A = this chain, B = another copy of it.
Amino acid sequence: MAVGRPRAFDVEERLDRALDVFWRQGYEGTALSDLTEAMGINRPSLYAAYGNKEALFGRVLDRYQDGPARHLRTALEEPTARAAAEHLLRGSVAVVTSARNPGGGCLLVQGALATGEQGEAARARLADGRRAAETALRRRFERAQDEGDLAPDEDAADLARYIASVSFGLSVHASDGTGAEALHRVVDRALAAWPG
């Protein structure tokens, strides 16, 4: 059974280079030529390995959530609701001011907020990702209510929405050039509104 010519590049590793481009330029602002150049592969190799631009973006997004945006999941493992919220927000500051994206901001937010028809699928995917993160946080808060470290009369959905909203705001603000220290002070204020 013949096996064929081996691929000359590492599929996962090159995803990181694609991630950097999408992160900086957004989905619609990124051309295939930008991707092939950054990834160091030819167009047909890209299509063979990843499908098409949209599918590549999906792979990149998964990698983003497993990598730079890992804090969205790890925050849920904190022992208390308040610690989870703070972990999420501090982690967000780190990501949106990451040296990897000098422009600042979070891929889940900047990637494709408003788009034409072509970017619709990417936009929807990002919105799903944001909603999923918020839902996971809400569930964590509900668990905290069961465990007694969050008042049972609090509205967990409202609280999660608030934290998510602040996190989104950090992303936009970072893309205006605001640094990590200033954003941490925003987080300080946001957490000052924590119930109880």
Contacts and interface: CB of A to CB of B under 8 A. Distances in A.
A164 B185 CA distance: 13
A188 to B, nearest CB: 9
A114 to B, nearest CB: 4
Q: How many copies of the chain does the oligomer comprise? A: 2
Interface of A: 23-26, 28-31, 34, 103, 105, 109-111, 113-116, 118-119, 127, 130-131, 155, 158-159, 161-162, 164-173, 175-178, 182-183, 185-186, 189-190, 192-193
B175 A127 contact: yes
A26 B115 contact: yes
B158 A182 contact: yes
B114 A25 contact: yes
Contact of A29 (B111, B119, B130, B162): B119
Nearest to A128: B176
A161 B175 contact: no
Q: Considering residues A113, A182, A183, A189, which has the most beta carbons from chain B within 10 angstroms of its beta carbon?
A: A113
Which 9 A-B pairs have CB atoms at the shortest separation, nearest pair first?
A169-B169, A29-B116, A26-B114, A165-B169, A193-B193, A168-B172, A110-B114, A29-B115, A168-B169
A172 B109 contact: yes
Contacts of A168: 168-169, 171-173
